[in-house]
Amino acid sequence: MDFLQKLLIEFPTDPLELAGLFSGLLCVFLLIKENIWVWPVGLFYACVSVFVFLEERLFASMLESLYYIAMNAYGWYFWKRGQGARRADEELKVIFMPRSAWIPMLLFLVIGGAFMGWLFSHYTSAALPFWDGGSMWVAFVAMWMSARKWIENWALWLAVDVVKTGVYLSQGIELYAVLYAVYIVMALWGGSTWRKAMRENES
């Protein structure tokens, strides 16, 4: 009961925060459905987040949202006109990440995540610097992979969502923990849906 009461008390009532919450959920849903509207909705979500975080003086989160603005613009362009494999209806296909990219990507994830954790631990007062900084780096990479329509993006999103759920629970931010628990389910759903799309494309 105390947990539910706290969720109700902490549930955002600010119009910008509500817009960010619901557009964020809509964004993941549209990504699962391979709907190109994911990118304009994502642009809206990222722009709203910039103002929310600026108001709260969360400057690192604000910079993260600026990155998402750029990546949503890139994803919109790439899904529409990029040089990836396309179906008969000209929509970009879901594909596996190229084998040649596996080792560079793993090195990029490990080294980049560790570096972000080191930065957070040495130059900020972050409570969980390696978990927080590392998961942020993995989210950056997952966003880029989503724009390329590489199915492995869902595995990265799943890892980010699991870590973020634990981080927010440990810090007593239950509303965000619940939100990221929902994202865990959506990441599993997204991976399953995209695998089905790949099988249909091959048939």
Helix ranges (H only) for 95-170 are 102-123, 129-148, 153-170
Mean pLDDT by 10 residues, the chain (203 residues): 55 70 90 96 91 70 86 95 83 93 94 90 82 88 95 96 87 75 95 93 76
Q: Round to whole Å and give the CA distance between 80 and 74.
A: 10
Which of helix, strand or coil describes residue 150? Answer: strand
Average pLDDT, the chain: 86
Which of helix, strand or coil describes residue 95? Answer: strand
For residue 6, what pLDDT is reported? Answer: 55
Amino acid identity, position 172: G
For residue 124, what pLDDT is reported? Answer: 77
Domain edges within the chain? 1-84, 93-203
For residue 74, what pLDDT is reported? Answer: 96
Q: DSSP code of 14?
A: S
For residue 1, what pLDDT is reported? Answer: 46
Q: What is the pLDDT of residues 135-158, one digit of tens each?
A: 889 999 999 999 999 999 999 999
What are the backbone dihedrals phi and psi of residue 151, each rounded to the nearest 5 degrees, phi first?
A: -65, -25
Residues 6 or more apart in contact with residue 148 via CB below 8 angstroms: 78, 82, 84
